[in-house]
Amino acid sequence: MIELFIATLASIFSVVNPLGAVPVYLAMTPEYTQKERNRTSRLTSLYFFLILSLFFLAGTWILGFFGISIGAMRIAGGLVIMSSGYTLLTGNISKSGATSKKVTEEALHKEDISFAPLAMPLLSGPGSISLLITYFDEYPLWWQKGTIVGVILTMAVIVYLILRFAPLLYQILGEAGLRALSRIMGFIVMSIGVQFIIGGISKVF
């Protein structure tokens, strides 16, 4: 159980990459008070947990409804994860669809940015969703599914803490430090994507 928890947490943390969201989060909340930032952090982590838990528990039903096989989901999810990893590896996180200049400008005029664009699609995007849907099929036992839900809850707490202390983290690590960490995460994420594609091809054939 502990091995599953640690392995799943490492994979989801790499794909979600909450540290990479720090500069984007700060750019969207330049005029927020500390109280407003705390509230946004809490709501974002709550939405993050609910979104990923929902897709994890209902994902295979959704696939069945649309007639999509788990093998096809693995291949498509692998491609999405690889794309996310490449974005992190090249340091172009600010150019991704979830964090474009237009999205940032729109967020500056919204009263609440915790659900969109923070919780979705910045943190709980297609990569993490496809990862969890395939995990639901890969780990059929109830205790395994419960462990993964616990991982999602742990990740939500990590997301809250990172956003809560985002200004401090930015001061300590700086833009260069966060980019360096994102590049390391990018390599790991691309490797996860390749593994998913291999698993999907094996499942199909």
Tokens 């360096």 correspond to 180
Whether 111 has a pLDDT exceeding 90, the answer reads no
Q: What count of residues does the chain have?
A: 205
Measured distance CA(74)–CA(133) in Å, rounded:
9
Whether 128 contacts 15, CB under 8 Å: yes
Confidence of residue 137 (pLDDT cuts 50, 70, 90): confident
Confidence of residue 105 (pLDDT cuts 50, 70, 90): low
Exposed e or buried b per residue across 36-57, where buried means at least 16 C-beta atoms within 10 angstroms of its C-beta: ebeebbebbbbbbbebbbebbe
Confidence of residue 104 (pLDDT cuts 50, 70, 90): low
Which candidate, 168, 141, 120, places its Cα nearest to that of 16? 120
Of 108-112, 160-164, 178-182, 190-194, the poorest mean pLDDT is in 108-112
Whether 38 contacts 112, CB under 8 Å: no
Q: How far is CA 29 from CA 19, 72, 73, 131, 166, in A?
A: 16, 39, 35, 29, 11
**pTM listed for this prediction:** 0.88
Confidence of residue 97 (pLDDT cuts 50, 70, 90): very low
The CA-CA-CA angle for residues 9, 15, 16, to 5°, reads: 85
